[in-house]
Chain A
Amino acid sequence: MLRYIAFRTLVALFLVWIVVTIVFLLLHLIPGDPAELLLSSGNVAADPQAVAALRERMGLNAPLWQQYLDHMAGVLSGDLGASFRDGAPVIEQIALRLPRTLEVIVAASLIATGIGVPLGTYAAIRADGRADAAISLFASAALSTPVFVVGSVVILIFAQELRWLPAGGFVPFSEDPLEHLKLLLLPACTVALSLLAVITRMSRASVLEVLQRDYVRTARAKGLPVRAVLRRHVVRNALIPVLTVLGLEMGTLIGGTVLVEFVFNWPGLSGYLVSAVDARDYPEVVGIVMTISVLFVLLNLVVDVLNAALDPRISLVR
């Protein structure tokens, strides 16, 4: 078992290295010069001399392999470098922004699970009935509506028309907890909607399957009320695959909340990545992508190890 974990960890590290290298190379391949961009913003001509001076200061005149080695050396010592734009340490910025993205994802997951599991269970009990059809229709619609459409519509309704909630933005929890939660609500609900659809469908399928099991029939036969059977035997067992799916979805969302963060002005990690790419801020882009890939690989590693713990046959196969 330990050997298995060690092996999987090595593979994970290798994967992270591959990702970082590819991102580093890709960034230098695409056109766009960070020095030139920084000095050209605002429709203003960049003076070639100033650009050259800035490139030198950014260390962009060194050969690519040397830039790569310097960067990898930094990464290994836990230093992701500093932003080209204002010299802010990348690792600090990530530490500031990652929790904000995670917060939206966690809030969305809570909302989605809280509504999706009961909804899916209900649909499964009433399988092929009118309620089931309605819930399935809702799930399909929710799944196929892009987040920027949902985001724009909820802003229109709740911020512009009803004026219940602010249109977007961010206030740290420590500054104004109530305002923070108000601002979190719309983006979290928007992310939750598509997640909700997935969870509803998954719960419905899972509950349906469990309902056919022998132990459910036995429980009913010994005279347990329907509610107790559902609570104690059906939903509990049906939740396992739902949680697996939820875990994977959350992993995808770490880098996938770009549109939601943009629409709601939520200063998380995805939005940070987009602005860094726009400015060709190499240290920032590489740092963020590395963080996301590490998290993703880590999540997969945990799933692998958990699976191995649950089913020892897995670690033997390899």
Chain B
Amino acid sequence: MTTKMNRRGFLATTGAAAGTLGFLGTQAALAQEGGTLRFGLSAYPPSFDIWTSNGTAAGTVKMMCHRGLLSYDKDGVMQGELAQSWEVSEDGSWTFRLRDALWHDGTPVTAEDVAWTVLEAQKSDSAAYLQGQLASITSVETPDAKTVVMKTAEPQAVLPGWFAHYNMCIAKKGSERDSLMGAGPFKLASVDRGVSISVTANPDYYKEGLPRVAGIDAIVYADENLRIAALEAGDVDVVEYVPWQAMAQVGGNDELQLDTTFGPFMYLTFNATKPPFDNPLVRRAIGHAIKREDIAAAAFFERGAPLEHLPIADASEFYNPELANEWSYDPEKAQALLAEAGYPDGFDCTMLSTAQYGMHQSTAEVCQAYLSMIGVNVTLDLPEWSTRVKKGNEGTYDIAVMGTAADNNDPDGLANVVDGSLPNAFVRSYGLDTPEISELFARGRASFDAEERKAIYKELEQVAIETAPIMGLCWREQGYGLAGNVTGFSNMPGQLTFYSGFTLESAMLG
């Protein structure tokens, strides 16, 4: 090949390049009509690691490329993915039967891949989100290429829920954890680090006729206002994390659709290693002192609802209406509880929140105002998010504002937030032992009887109401904004909202 370039050569090359560009341009335009869905992500995923939790944006991208044994349909009902059936035997072991599915590289998904996945993710240093749960799996057997049998130390009724989680997808044996090479509906096409991720439809996907779009361009719009502007300007077809202040604007726009669900929630965590919050009476007093409606109004632009019990949605079969208002706003009761605890004149304390997210800060400010009315003088500590996480993990606070979603709609999904036997972490109260609650969670996991489980979790909620390991504040709406012509994508109900990426396989452009 010659590197010499004269004028004629230059013209010829640029002419050819221009021709190619024109050709590419038409193709791109055609694909647009046939359907490349443009998805506005809220952040660039810090990692594509298949089993660690790296936020909503990472989860959404992983759900394009990966599939687990199970998942949920758009109504929140568990369904088979790589496993077409699953059952528990008398001795409590779970058997999964795999369907015929192919990896992106064309090789078949086998029981051995599943076994390898479990063994890798349960290693103590795997950093897998569900590492703790998986560690209770004592053996994984593969009697044939399409059957997997998992045995656990104690019977685990909630085991299928682990394998329906978007951070517990199945990886091909020996593959790189962050390669995005999976068995999902889309294959990774290109990555522009910090900017966008493009995937194309996987023609060998095991669901007939899916995916419906030819590909997805996931483009990062970190600024929430720009994300909405991009949706309104028609630059993207779907955006995640519609900011609360923009929900009315998106919902009122005839050309757009707003899809929201009550799932994530705001709550308070306590440092129980020192007075006064080592005392459950004080923790309950805090709960009775705060008017939740004002948080919904100030932090969520009326897109929130009071949460005066454990975060179990009223649509759940585990919802206990008689306990739903046990932590209701009642300043007199709050003062009586404080007096009973030995603080009739209140006390001073610091409240940790973050100035990085408006809703965290506003929630803290409303709490501060209401707590001052019962004599509790709160000093706000509002560092940026990273520092807030660190302080939460180390317990350098008295009381802290937190927001999250449970792992799934089963009450066991709340363990991460409430169970004090888990290691200290910023999502839970610091150094707060909950022996009764931990034991009830264990019993709930071991029970396969629906009625019995209901009774167990009711008792658990009663104990929680009395001991206040966390203090519920407010449900918040979680919303996706869609262009008018997008169908098939849905915001999954309740706590499953962050699983919505699974429905991208059926998304279609009008």
Contact = CB atoms under 8 A, between A and B. Distances in A.
A131 interface: no
Interface stretch (B127-135, B276-284, B438-446): B127-135
B54 A41 contact: yes
Contacts of B21: 176-177
A47 B416 CA distance: 11
Interface stretch (A199-207, A220-228, A273-281): A273-281
A36 B124 contact: no
B233 interface: yes
B389 A42 contact: no
Contacts of B53: 39, 41-42, 44
Contacts of A47: 127, 131-132, 423
Given A167-B226, A169-B235, A267 B47 contact: no
Given A42-B59, A280-B386, A54 B195 contact: no
A86 B176 CA distance: 12
Nearest to A56: B125
A176 B32 CA distance: 15
A156 B386 contact: no
Nearest to B389: A40
A32 B393 CA distance: 10
Interface residues of A, number: 52
A262 interface: yes
Contacts of A42: 53-56, 58-59
B333 interface: no
B393 A265 contact: no
Interface in B166-213: 178, 192-195
Interface residues of B, number: 60
A79 interface: no
Contacts of B55: 41-42
Contacts of B379: none
Given A38-B54, A50-B127, A53-B125, A159 B229 contact: yes
Most chain A beta-carbon contacts within 10 A, residue among B21, B56, B222, B223? B223
A51 to B, nearest CB: 8
Given A155-B229, A167-B235, A31 B387 contact: yes
A33 interface: yes
B124 A49 contact: yes
A33 to B, nearest CB: 6
A196 to B, nearest CB: 23
Contacts of B508: none
A294 B20 CA distance: 39
B403 interface: yes
A67 interface: no
A37 interface: yes
A283 interface: no
A43 interface: yes
Nearest to B131: A47
Contacts of A85: 46-47
Nearest to A35: B127
Given A31-B387, A263-B223, A275-B44, A40 B229 contact: no
Nearest to B193: A88
Given A45-B426, A86-B47, A53 B390 contact: no
A298 B189 CA distance: 39
B389 A39 contact: no
A24 interface: no
Contact of B390 (A32, A96, A263): A32
A275 B54 CA distance: 15
Interface string A252-288: 0000000000111101000110010011100000000
A200 B338 CA distance: 66
Contacts of A156: 229
Contact of B423 (A41, A48, A271): A48
A264 B226 contact: yes
Contacts of B387: 30-32
A241 B102 CA distance: 67
Given A49-B125, A50-B126, A93-B193, A33 B390 contact: yes
Nearest to B25: A176
A160 B229 contact: yes
Given A40-B393, A44-B416, A53-B127, A168 B226 contact: yes
Most chain B beta-carbon contacts within 10 A, residue among A30, A93, A272? A30
B13 interface: no
Interface string A279-309: 1100000000000000000000000000000
A4 interface: no
Contact of B219 (A32, A43, A45, A169): A169
B232 A160 contact: yes
A46 interface: yes
A79 B403 CA distance: 40
Given A50-B127, A167-B233, A278 B226 contact: no
B405 A41 contact: no
Contacts of A176: 21, 25, 28
Interface in A35-77: 36-50, 53-54
Nearest to A262: B223
B225 interface: yes
A67 to B, nearest CB: 19
A86 B177 CA distance: 11
B221 interface: yes
A240 B222 CA distance: 41
Interface in A145-179: 152, 155-156, 159-160, 163, 166-170, 172, 176-177
A166 B38 CA distance: 13
B458 to A, nearest CB: 26
Contacts of B233: 159-160, 163, 166-167
B230 interface: yes
B232 A166 contact: no
B196 to A, nearest CB: 8
B492 interface: no
Given A42-B58, A262-B222, A31 B229 contact: no
A279 B54 CA distance: 12
A33 B392 CA distance: 12
5 contacts: A32-B386, A50-B127, A168-B226, A169-B195, A264-B226
Q: Which 6 interchain pairs have the tightest Cβ spacing?
A: A45-B425, A53-B125, A42-B55, A43-B404, A32-B386, A50-B127
Given A169-B219, A176-B25, 4 more contacts: A39-B127, A160-B233, A169-B235, A177-B21
